[in-house]
Amino acid sequence: MVRTRIIGGTVIPVSERGLWYASGHVVVERGRIVSVGPGEGPSTPEDEVVDARGKYILPGFVNAHGHAAMTLLRGYADDLPLMDWLQKKIWPVEHGLTGEDIYWGTLLAIVEMIENGTTAFADMYFHMDRVAEAVAEAGTRAVLCRGIIGSGPDEGSRAIEESRAFVNRWHRAEDGRITATLGPHAPYTCPPQVLKRVAEVSAQLDVAVQIHLSETRSEVNQMMSAYGKSPVAVCAENGLFERPTLAAHCVHLDDSDIDLLRRFGVHVSHNPGSNLKLGSGVAPLPELLRRNVVVGLGTDGAASNNNLDLLEEIRLAATLHKGVHQDPVIVDADTALALGTREGARALFLEEGLGTLKPGAPADLIIMEAGSPHVLPLYNPISQVVYAARSGDVTDVMCDGRWLLRNREHQTLDRERILYHAERIAARFAP
C-alpha cells in the first residue's frame, strides 16, 4: 500500500475555524489521513511525494443534493417556472431515458464534479443500479436513492420495494463509498400514507431519507390547501422526521417550520444557484444556522443550474445572503467553505471527519492552483478560495486515498468516451 505525502502547499483543513498552514503537509495511508500540519511531516523512503508548492490543499467538496444524470438535459428547458419546467419539459423527456442513458449521464456528471473538486455527492433519480455502477467505476463517494413518487394508483408501493432492493444491493458497497437511502420525491408527490410507509421501511433497513421540501411558494400553498399544514409539518406529522432526513431546498419556511427541523434534527441542503435560476426564492440560511440546523450545499441537477460547480455554490452562499440581508458579515468565508465540505458531509450523515483534513479522516482531498493572477496576492487563503478561486484551478483529486485526477488527467475514467456517449444520447432529444 503506497503512502502519499503531499508537501509544500497551503493546507486548509476546515477542521477548525480560520486554521491554515502556509507551508504544510498531508500524509495519507490506507485511505486515511495520518498526519496534517506545518512543515513536511513524517517521512519514509517508500513515500509517494507530491510537491504542492504554490497550491492549496483542502478537503474535497461535498455536493449535498442533485440528480446526476440530468446533465443529459443541461440547457434543454431553461427560463421556466419550476412546475412548468418539470411537468411540461423534464418529466416527459425523462420517460424516454433508459438505464444505459442514465449510466452515461451519471458518468458525465462525475467527470464534471471530479474536475471541479467534488469528491462526494448525493443523488436522487431512477435506474439507480446503473448510477451505483458509475460511482463504483469512478471511485467517488455518493449517497444514492431511487426517487419515489407515490401519487399513482400503487401509492408508491412498487417504488418503495425497488428502493428496498437497491438498499440491500448497494448500501455500504465499494468499501463504504456508496451509501443508499430512501428518496420520497416531495410531500406534493407522496401522500401521507406513502410518507408513513417510507418511514417504516427506513427504520427496517436502518437508512436515512432524502426529500425535496418547501421549494416553492406554490408547493406550500398546495399543501396548505390539501392538509391545512406546511410541507414540513406534513412530514413531521406522518413520522418521516423520526428517521434521519436530508431535506433539499427548504426555501419557504416560517418560524414553526424551522423549529420542527431543529427539533427533529432534520438536515438541509441549501441550493442557491438552482433556486435562483428557477425563481423559487432564497432559503433562510442565516436563520437555519443560527438555530443550529445542519446545512450543506448542493447544486441540484444540471438541468436547473446549469452546472455542478460546488465552488460556485460556496461563493453564492457567502455573497447572496449578504445582499439579501444587507449585512456583509452574515455568512463569512469560513462558514461558506465549511458548508461545502465538513457540513455537507454532516448533512449527508457521512462518517465523522469527512469534509476535513485531520488525522483519522477518510482521505478525500483536492489540490488547487494558488499562484494564478486571479488569486494573488495572498493574504487569507480561506477568503481567496471562497471569493477568488475558480473550479478550473483544481489540479488533483483524491477520494478514499485513491487519485481520481492527477495534473488534470483522469485516473479512473475515459473522459472522451463519456463525452461521446453523452452527445450521442442527447441527439435523441434535440429539437
Pair (249, 392) in one structural domain: no
Query: Predicted confidence band at 54 (pLDDT cuts at 50, 70, 90)?
Result: very high
Pair (176, 125) in one structural domain: yes
What's the average model confidence in pLDDT over 174-185?
98
Q: Flag whether 47 is in a domain.
A: yes
Pair (56, 67) in one structural domain: no
Which residues make beta-bridge pairs with 178? 142, 173
Domain that holds residue 34: 4-60+356-410
Q: Flag whether 425 is in a domain.
A: no
Alpha-carbon dihedral 187, 314, 109, 95, rounded to 10 degrees: 20
Pair (303, 377) in one structural domain: no
**Of 86-90, 241-245, 303-307, 393-397, the least confident:** 86-90
What is the pLDDT of the chain when averaged over all its residues? 96
- C-alpha–C-alpha distance, residues 296 and 121, integer Å: 11
Q: Please report the pLDDT score of residue 272 as a whole number.
A: 98
Does the reported pTM lie above 0.95?
yes
Provide the CATH number for the domain around residue 320. 3.20.20.140
Give me the percent of the chain exceeding a pLDDT of 90: 91
Pair (196, 308) in one structural domain: yes
CA-closest candidate to residue 125, choices 307, 303, 349, 343: 303
Q: Please report the pLDDT score of residue 431 as a whole number.
A: 63
pLDDT tens column, 305-322: 999 999 999 999 999 999
Pair (48, 67) in one structural domain: no
Number of domains in the chain: 2
Q: Please report the pLDDT score of residue 306 as a whole number.
A: 94
Q: Please report the pLDDT score of residue 86 as a whole number.
A: 77
